[in-house]
Amino acid sequence: GGVVAQAPSRQAQIHGSLSREEIAKVVNAHLQAVRACYERALLKEPGLAGKLIIEWTIDPNGVVTEFKTKSSSIRNPDVAECILDNLKTWHFPKPDGGQVVVSYPFIFNSVGF
């Protein structure tokens, strides 16, 4: 299977009023979907590994309105595309004082492939 290790939440960059813990709680709740995106690509490319940094904007209602790959060392663009498709459905706590911009790292390693 594939292992998705999120970098310690202190490596996440957050500009706005939500805490790293609030962001990490939502990300952790969706980590299985992130893992599924990675494992699908891993079936086609055994040994696929790397780091992916995703940036997204959370509006005042807690909805993800903008999202993009900030950087990636993963050779397969399908992983990021799949995660971004999932990310747009995630709901975060309503931030105080406007929108929040998050830059979040995910680290992917294969196990047994």
DSSP string, the chain: -EEEEEPPGGGSEEESSS-HHHHHHHHHHTHHHHHHHHHHHHHHSTT--EEEEEEEEE-TTSBEEEEEEEEE--S-HHHHHHHHHHHTT-B-PPPTTS-EEEEEEEEEEES--
- Look at residue 111 in the predicted model and tell me its pLDDT: 73
- Identify the band that residue 94 occupies on the pLDDT scale cut at 50, 70 and 90: very high
pLDDT tens for each residue of 16-70: 789 999 999 999 999 999 999 999 999 999 999 999 999 999 999 999 999 999 9
